[in-house]
């Protein structure tokens, strides 16, 4: 299970702006079929892990799967009922910035029907629109 990086230079960072589309990491490098993000967003480590578990259960751990994103963005939040000011909140979870077109998961070693069904189930666990491609 991936929670976040073991060590970072700074404890808290700014989230920054999300660019809508990705043109660099938008094709397959390892697998034969993949799951691609159709829109931009921030995925938490829990959501990535839930999708990974769903995909690996569907393919019954037969083929090989690659996760192409890593949650390295600390998302902070202040507890409810706390007044304004007094600094930035504590890191509540780790997230990954995802642009539209980024490859999230890749699979090989299973037939296309099973892989397609697995990626469809995994995509349902994510809060952004996804697309299956070969």
Residues whose CB falls within 8 Å of the CB of residue 56, separated by 6 or more in sequence, listed in order: 65
Tokens found for residue 46: 């829990």
> Would the pLDDT of 49 be above 90?
yes
Q: What mean pLDDT do residues 103-122 have?
A: 97
Residue tagged 């976040």 (tokens): 4
For CA atoms 103, 132, 45, 39, the dihedral sign is positive
What is the number of domains present in the chain?
1
2 pLDDT more than 80: no
Q: 39: pLDDT confidence band, cut at 50, 70 and 90?
A: very high
pLDDT tens for 7-24 read: 999 999 998 899 889 888
Q: pTM of the full predicted structure?
A: 0.93
Residue 16 lies in a domain: no
Q: Does pLDDT of 94 surpass 80?
A: yes
State the greatest distance between any 2 C-alpha atoms of the chain, in Å, as a whole number: 55
Residue 50 covered by a domain? yes
Which range of residues forms the domain containing residue 51? 33-77+87-133
- Report if residue 126 sits inside a domain: yes
Position 23 in a domain: no
Note whether residue 13 is domain-resident.
no
Residue 61 has pLDDT above 90, yes or no: no
pLDDT, residue 7, reads 93
Residue 13's pLDDT is what?
94
């Amino acid at each position: 299970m991936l929670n976040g990086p073991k060590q970072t230079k700074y404890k808290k960072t700014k989230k920054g702006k999300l660019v809508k589309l990705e043109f660099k990491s938008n094709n397959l490098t390892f697998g034969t079929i993949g799951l691609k993000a159709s829109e931009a967003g921030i995925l938490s480590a829990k959501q990535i892990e839930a999708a990974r578990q769903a995909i690996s259960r569907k393919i019954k751990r037969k083929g090989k799967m690659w996760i192409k994103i890593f949650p390295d963005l600390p998302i902070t939040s202040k507890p409810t009922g706390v007044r304004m000011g007094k600094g930035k909140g504590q890191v509540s979870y780790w997230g990954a910035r995802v642009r539209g077109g980024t490859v999230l998961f890749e699979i090989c070693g299973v037939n296309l029907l099973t892989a397609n069904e697995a990626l469809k189930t995994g995509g349902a666990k994510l809060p952004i629109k996804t697309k299956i491609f070969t």
